Chains A and B, each alone.
Chain A
Amino acid sequence: MSNWLEQLLGNKTKSADQAKERLKLVLIHDRTDLSPALLDNLKNELLAVISKHVEIDPGAVVINLTQDGREQRLVADIPIKSARRPRSG
């Protein structure tokens, strides 16, 4: 397929898009000095603490670093399993 047709159909990832995606990750880690491994540890410890008090599904937990302007945010989405409370009385 000729180059312009490929572009017209947009069926190829542009190198600029790759640059942007790569930079997003690099900048988040540069700014926070948090490595993926450290983030993993953090996640595990967080889960351990929360599990002590509420029942959660570890597989459904998502912890991400996101960018908000020039501020970095650690966002945790931790779905709680529907609690079956033992009825008192």
Chain B
Amino acid sequence: MVAKVVTVTSGKGGVGKTTTTANVAVALAALGQKVVCIDADIGLRNLDVVLGLENRIVYDLVDVVEGRCRLRQAMIRDKRLPELYLIPAAQTRDKNAISPSDMNRLCEELRPEVDWILIDSPAGIERGFRNALAPADIVLVVTNPEVSAVRDADRIIGIVEAEEKGPVRLVLNRVNPNLTRRGDMLNADDVLELLAVELIGIVPEDEHVIISTNKGQPVALDGKSRAGLAFQNIARRLMGENVPFLSLEDSDGFLRRLTRLFRSGGTTG
């Protein structure tokens, strides 16, 4: 096995990096892949609670880097899936506790052991982000269809390209179909045109995400919710499968086309 390292990042906080990391990890593991996810958000760890593994932490990422434990000892196995592991962040340290070369070394050690290494990056463009970016083979940039998240995503994409990392794949998270339909939310085409990157997933806003996070059971564990299905599709696309994008507008496709028709007839341009 030679793992691919996928770094999940966004620039802006609160757009769904950790949710995306947890769910894509779960979905990949459900496809029979051996997955390790690493929480690189030192000092503000959260991947453990989103995955529901917070009570099983003994050692963390900084313990590994500083040699207080072996890599294996810091890998918490998620018992719901055959081969999913979490290396949690340290909570009482800061981003400077590790360096980009520490992350490279850690991933080199893990690479032969697993299929996928998912790194949950902290928000921002500073040290923590640089740590998470260093070993990346693929960079998933998570954004929401709103101005500040898109602007920050653009900044991140610029840095990733300047560092010659990547390829970059975009996850458009928290898409509200009603607002999009009304023309009060940027749609996927708008965002892709602005950012000029390749899309890997469109995740609808879905209350199941909040409910499942409350319970520590990522939505992708069962594919019944739309968000869960969207995350499963991202995992399948990472595996190289050609999965059509979820249509968020199938319920009113006809009306939308009708509106367009009226508009193009009624106004110039």
Contacts and interface: CB of A to CB of B under 8 A. Distances in A.
A20 B186 contact: yes
A63 to B, nearest CB: 22
Interface string A5-35: 0011111001111011011101100110000
A44 interface: no
Nearest to B266: A9
A27 B259 contact: no
Interface stretch (B71-79, B132-140, B154-162): B154-162
| Number of chain B interface residues as a range | 20 to 34
Given A9-B262, A27-B194, A70-B157, A22 B182 contact: no
A34 B233 CA distance: 39
| Number of chain A interface residues as a range | 20 to 34
B151 A7 contact: no
Nearest to B185: A16
B40 interface: no
Contacts of B258: 8
B259 A70 contact: no
Contact of B267 (A10, A22, A27, A31): A10
Contacts of A9: 262-263, 266
Contacts of A14: 182-184
B5 interface: no
A33 to B, nearest CB: 11
Contact of B155 (A19, A20, A30): A30
Contacts of B154: 27, 30-31
Interface of B: 146-147, 150-151, 154-155, 157-158, 161, 180, 182-187, 190, 193-197, 258-259, 262-263, 266-267
